[in-house]
Chains A and B, each alone.
Chain A
Amino acid sequence: MSVLDSKIPSGPLADKWTKHKNEINLVNPANKRNIDVIVVGTGLAGGSAAATLAELGYNVKTFCYQDSPRRAHSIAAQGGINASKNYQGDGDSDYRLFYDTVKGGDYRSREANVYRLAEVSGNIIDQCVAQGVPFAREYGGLLDNRSFGGVLVSRTFYAKGQTGQQLLLGAYSAMNRQINRGKIQSFTRHEMMDLVLVDGKARGIIARDMVTGEIQKHSAHAVVLASGGYGNVFFLSTNAMGSNVMAAWRAHKRGAYFANPCYTQIHPTCIPVSGDHQSKLTLMSESLRNDGRIWVPKKKEDAIAIREGRLKPTDLSEEERDYYLERRYPAFGNLVPRDVASRAAKERCDAGFGVNKTGEAVFLDFASAIERYGKEKAFTSGHKNASKEEITRLGKEVVEAKYGNLFQMYQKIVDQNPYETPMMIYPAVHYTMGGLWVDYNLQTTIPGCYAAGEANFSDHGANRLGASALMQGLADGYFVLPYTIGDYLSNDIRTGAISTDLPEFAEAEKNVKDKIDRLMKASGKHSVDHYHKKLGKIMWNKCGMARNAQGLQEALEEIKALREDFWKNVKVTGKAETKNAELEKAGRVADFLELGELFAKDALHRNESCGGHFREEYQTEEGEALRDDENFKYVAAWEYTGDPREAKLHKEDLVFDNIELKTRSYK
Chain B
Amino acid sequence: MKLTLKIWRQDGANTKGKMVDYPIDGIEGDMSFLEMLDVLNEELVAKGEEPVEFDHDCREGICGSCSLQINGEPHGPDRLITTCQLHMRSFNDGDTITIEPFRANAFPVIKDLIVDRTAFDRIQQAGGYVSVNTSGNTIDANSIPVNKHNADDSFNAATCIGCGACVAACKNASAMLFTSAKVSQYALLPQGRVEAVDRVQAMVRQMDEEGFGNCSNTGACELECPKGISLENIARMNREYLSANAKG
Contact = CB atoms under 8 A, between A and B. Distances in A.
Given A142-B145, A162-B62, A412-B81, A134 B49 contact: no
Contact of A578 (B32, B59, B80, B111): B111
Nearest to B65: A71
B30 A166 contact: no
A129 interface: yes
A51 interface: yes
B235 interface: no
A89 interface: no
Contact of B151 (A124, A137, A172, A174): A137
Nearest to A65: B57
B35 interface: yes
Contacts of A240: 57-59, 63
A412 B87 contact: yes
Contacts of A66: 57, 63, 65
B120 A68 contact: yes
B236 interface: no
A140 B148 CA distance: 7
Contacts of B118: 67-68, 188
A582 B42 CA distance: 10
A581 B65 CA distance: 14
B132 interface: yes
Contacts of B110: 211, 579
Contact of A75 (B58, B78, B87, B126): B58
Interface in B5-48: 11-12, 28, 30-32, 34-35, 38-39, 42, 44-46, 48
A3 interface: no
Contacts, number: 220
Nearest to A412: B85
B129 A279 contact: no
Given A66-B63, A574-B50, A413 B85 contact: yes
A251 interface: no
Interface centre among B45, B128, B185 (most CB of A within 10 A): B45
A277 interface: yes
A491 interface: no
B151 A134 contact: yes
A160 B152 CA distance: 10
B141 A129 contact: yes
Interface in B117-137: 117-118, 120-121, 124-136
A279 B32 contact: yes
Q: Place the interface of chain B in its size category.
A: 35 or more
A52 B161 CA distance: 24
A516 interface: no
Nearest to A173: B129
A159 interface: yes
Interface string A66-106: 11111101011000000001010000000000000000000
A308 B148 CA distance: 47
A241 interface: yes
Interface stretch (B186-194, B215-223, B239-247): B186-194
B70 interface: no
Interface string A98-139: 000000000000000000000010011111111110111111
Interface string B71-91: 000000010110001010100
Contact of A174 (B32, B46, B129): B129
Nearest to B49: A573
Interface in A153-177: 159-160, 162, 164-166, 169, 172-174, 176-177
A527 B46 contact: yes
A400 to B, nearest CB: 14
A282 interface: yes
A143 interface: yes
A529 interface: yes
Contacts of B50: 573-574
Nearest to B52: A581
Interface in A244-298: 274-275, 277-280, 282-283
A134 B35 CA distance: 34
A358 B170 CA distance: 44
B117 A68 contact: yes
Interface of B: 11-12, 28, 30-32, 34-35, 38-39, 42, 44-46, 48-51, 53, 55-65, 78, 80-81, 85, 87, 89, 110-111, 114, 116-118, 120-121, 124-136, 138-142, 144-148, 151-152, 154-155, 158-159, 161-162, 185-186, 189, 191-192
7 contacts: A67-B55, A68-B120, A70-B121, A134-B158, A162-B159, A165-B62, A573-B45
Given A132-B192, A141-B151, A413-B87, 12 more contacts: A55-B133, A70-B64, A76-B60, A137-B146, A142-B145, A143-B141, A240-B59, A241-B56, A279-B38, A408-B80, A571-B48, A579-B12
